[in-house]
Structure formats: structure tokens, C-alpha cells
């Protein structure tokens, strides 16, 4: 065997996680917050806090100041541990690595956050996807419990709310899975600020449940900070795989600062929730669209009669980037995922999407440019 063939075949077969170059005026594809720090004073105070960081020194691997703030913010009891990651992506990787014995497996509903299966592949671990219900993306609890009985997965990832479908499964359904799982159950609450429900308060009820959080959807995606919380029996082991300086000093200082001013971030999340509700109603008026219920900062929509790829191109031509999910999973045929932006950005999106839908002929083909009769969705 020579050269690059020494790299594992399953890695060579993978396509790298696609991140488009960006540059569009309106970026609504990655569930980022559209809002920066809102006022001069806060920005100034943050910069001062960064200026005080000694970047000539390695960061403190225990991140004591940030950990203390985060523990207080989450209301963690003394019996719950906290492990910080360079984004929650990294924590998903650490969990999977820690469990990657020969014969180990990861399970998740499908479609869901693609990194669960990608990371399983990176770690050489089998992945079992259990289809969500076709009509409403609900958890098929019976099928899930059957799959658990068959595969006895070492870890189950539940994105709650689920990316990319946006829905929040009833707690009872999640608990029905927890009750029969024998491995670790990770409740991934990346979108908790928009769902306002959490299993953090339930930590300790079960010995094999942990919760994953991130600051990414709250306006701090560029910082890369994720948090895993749960019982020490699991977290102490997972923490052994963490590289000591995974959370850099500027991120530690910035995140601690952000938690001190959490009311600002909470207010921004509230604006996003309000816009989500307004947008869902506005889009739902169109007979060419199904808008799925969302408890996250994005909406999943399905086009009827149109072509999601063509709509995506049309939006790109207008400087608006959303995520086209057509082709990502059979259950996502003709679907787009629209991150909720500022009211102005959303209005632009609605207008351009409306223009595309107006141009559709009865046969689903786009009509000639200018055939539009109304400019909003």
C-alpha cells in the first residue's frame, strides 16, 4: 500500500462537511444569530476584557471563571460535571471517541444533525439512523425502542429541537427512549434558546443522560464554545480525551463576559422567536409551501410544484443564502431550511422567494422573469 491509500478507505470515501464561501448580503443558511453586540459600550467593555488576556500564556484548561459562570447560569447542582468544548461539535467527537470500542454503535433519528453520523464514521463506529415519522418528523417511539433492543447503541444523540426539521418532540417521547437505552443518551440542546425547554433541570433523574449546549446560536458562533453537562461518572471519562487547551483564552474571556450580559443575548433570542412566528404565518399563506412547526431559530419549508434547488439558486442570485436540503435525505425532498434573520433580512427572503413562487407555472416550471404578480410570500 502506498501514499494516501494508507488513509482509511471510509475517510477517503467521505465528502468533507460543506461550508459555502459566503459573501452574500443575507446569510440565512447556518442558524447563526443575525445580531452583533448591540451597543458601543458593551463592545468597548468586551474589547477591554480581551485586552487584559495574556495571550503569551496557554489558557487555563479548567477555564475556572467561565466554568463558574456557566454552572451558575445553568443552575447545575454540585453532583453535575461540566466539560467545555471548542464548539459542541468537538464534544460530540469526544463522546463518540470515548465510546469507540470495537463493535460500538451510535444511534440517532433521521434526518438529524449530520455531524452525528459523520463523526461516527471518523471514529470507525457503526451508525444506526431510525427514520422519523414521514408526515410530521415526529419520533417513532415504537420503532426507536425496537432499534435500541436490536442494536443496543453505546450512544444515542437526540437533537432537541431537531436540526434540520425544527420540531421539539414531546418530552414523553424522549423519556420513553431514555428509559430503554442502556448506553449514553445525549440531549443536544443547541436550539434551547428558541425552544425554552430543557432537560438540564432533569439531570440526575437518570444515570445515563447528559445535555449538550452551545453559545453558537445565541450570537457567539465565532467564539466556538460548547458545554457538556451531566454525571461525573461519564464526564470524567470523556474529559480525559479533551486536548488540554481546546478552549482558547480569548473565547474563555469572551464567553464569561457574554454570560455576565446574558440579558442582551436573551433579548436577541426573543426577537428571533417573534420573527420565526411571524415568518411562519407569512410563508404558510402560500399554497406552494408547507411550513413545518419550529421551536428553533429556523424554519423548514417544503415546496410543492416548484424545485427547491431552483428556488435556492434564485435566492442566491438575489444575494440570499439559505440551505437547500433536497438530496440530503429522502425525507427532505424539495425542502429548504431558512434561518431566521433580522426583520429586514427576512423581508428580503420572503420577497425573493415569493417572486420565485409567483413565477411557477401550473406545471411547476418557473415562468418568464417579470411574470410575478405579488412581491411578498
Ligand X SMILES: Cc1ncc(COP(=O)(O)O)c(C=O)c1O
Contacting positions for ligand X (CB under 6 A): 31, 87-89, 113, 159, 163, 188, 190, 214, 216, 221, 226
CA distances from 342 to 39, 55, 262, 279, 297 (A): 16, 34, 19, 11, 11
Pick from 213, 269, 249, 226: nearest CA to 38: 269
Taking CB atoms within 8 Å and a gap of at least 24, the contacts of 242-247 are 242/83, 242/85, 242/94, 244/58, 244/61, 245/58, 245/59, 245/61, 246/61, 246/84, 246/85, 246/86, 246/90, 247/59, 247/63, 247/66, 247/84, 247/85, 247/86
Closest to ligand X by CB, 214 or 334:
214
Give whichever of 251 and 348 is closer to ligand X, judged by the CB atom.
251
DSSP state of 305: S
Strand residue runs (E) in the chain: 26-27, 80-85, 105-110, 126-131, 155-159, 184-188, 209-214, 226-231, 289-291, 298-303, 320-321, 323-324, 335-339
Query: What's the rounded Cα separation, in Å, for the pair 227 and 82?
Result: 7
| Residue nearest to ligand X according to CB distances in the complex | 87
Q: How far apart are CB 3 and ligand X at their closest, in Å? A: 32
d(CA 373, CA 357): 10
Q: Which CB atom, from 188 or from 288, has the smaller least distance to ligand X? A: 188
Nearest residue (CB) to ligand X, 306 versus 341: 341
**What is the nearest approach in angstroms of ligand X to the Cβ of residue 91?**
8
Q: Give the residue with the Cβ less far from ligand X, 332 or 377.
A: 332
Q: What is the DSSP letter of 273?
A: H
Q: How far is the CB of 127 from ligand X (least distance, A)?
A: 16
Residue 305 near residue 364, CB atoms below 8 Å: yes
CB of 317 to ligand X, least distance (A): 25
Report the nearest approach of ligand X to the CB of residue 33 (Å). 12
Q: Given the complex with ligand X, which of 105 and 214 has the nearer CB atom?
A: 214
Query: What is the nearest approach in angstroms of ligand X to the Cβ of residue 102?
Result: 27
Task: Please name the residue that has the C-alpha cell 448580503.
Answer: 25
Decide whether 89 or 275 has the Cβ nearer to ligand X.
89
Q: Which is nearer to ligand X, 115 or 203 (CB)?
A: 115
Cα separations in angstroms, 271 against 163, 184, 218, 264, 323? 20, 35, 11, 11, 22
CB of 73 to ligand X, least distance (A): 16
**Minimum distance of ligand X from residue 86's CB (angstroms):** 8
Amino acid at each position: 500500500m502506498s501514499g494516501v491509500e494508507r488513509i482509511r478507505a471510509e475517510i477517503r470515501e467521505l465528502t468533507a462537511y460543506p461550508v459555502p464561501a459566503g459573501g452574500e448580503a443575507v446569510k440565512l443558511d447556518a442558524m447563526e444569530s443575525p445580531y452583533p453586540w448591540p451597543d458601543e459600550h458593551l463592545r468597548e467593555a468586551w474589547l477591554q476584557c480581551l485586552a487584559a488576556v495574556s495571550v503569551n500564556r496557554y489558557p487555563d484548561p479548567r477555564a475556572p471563571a467561565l466554568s463558574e459562570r456557566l454552572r451558575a447560569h445553568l443552575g447545575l447542582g454540585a453532583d453535575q460535571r461540566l466539560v467545555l468544548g471548542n464548539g459542541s461539535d468537538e464534544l460530540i467527537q469526544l463522546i463518540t471517541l470515548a465510546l469507540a470500542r470495537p463493535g460500538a454503535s451510535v444511534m440517532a433519528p433521521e434526518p438529524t444533525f449530520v455531524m452525528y453520523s459523520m463523526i461516527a464514521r471518523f471514529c470507525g463506529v457503526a451508525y444506526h439512523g431510525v427514520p422519523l415519522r414521514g408526515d410530521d418528523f415526529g419520533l417513532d417511539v415504537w420503532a426507536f425502542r425496537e432499534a435500541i433492543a436490536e442494536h443496543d447503541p453505546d450512544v444515542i444523540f437526540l437533537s432537541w429541537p431537531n436540526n434540520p426539521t425544527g420540531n421539539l418532540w414531546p418530552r414523553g417521547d424522549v423519556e420513553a427512549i431514555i428509559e430503554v437505552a442502556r448506553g449514553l443518551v445525549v440531549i443536544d440542546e443547541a436550539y434551547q434558546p428558541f425552544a425554552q425547554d430543557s432537560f438540564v433541570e432533569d439531570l440526575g433523574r437518570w444515570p445515563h443522560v447528559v445535555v449538550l449546549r452551545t453559545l453558537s446560536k445565541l450570537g457567539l458562533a465565532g467564539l466556538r464554545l460548547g458545554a457538556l453537562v451531566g454525571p461525573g461518572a461519564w464526564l470524567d471519562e470523556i474529559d480525559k480525551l479533551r486536548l488540554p487547551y481546546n478552549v482558547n483564552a480569548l473565547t474563555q474571556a469572551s464567553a464569561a463576559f457574554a454570560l455576565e450580559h446574558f440579558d442582551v443575548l436573551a433579548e436577541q433570542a426573543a426577537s428571533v422567536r417573534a420573527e420565526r412566528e411571524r415568518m411562519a404565518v407569512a410563508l404558510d399563506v402560500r399554497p406552494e409551501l408547507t411550513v413545518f412547526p419550529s421551536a428553533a431559530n429556523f424554519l423548514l419549508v417544503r415546496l410543492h410544484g416548484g424545485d427547491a434547488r431552483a428556488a435556492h439558486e434564485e435566492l442566491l442570485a438575489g444575494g440570499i443564502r439559505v440551505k437547500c436540503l433536497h438530496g440530503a435525505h429522502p425525507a427532505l425532498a424539495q425542502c429548504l431550511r431558512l434561518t431566521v434573520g433580522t426583520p429586514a433580512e427576512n423581508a428580503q427572503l420572503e420577497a425573493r422567494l415569493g417572486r420565485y413562487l409567483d413565477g411557477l407555472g401550473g406545471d411547476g416550471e418557473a415562468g418568464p422573469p417579470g411574470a410575478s404578480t405579488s412581491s411578498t410570500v
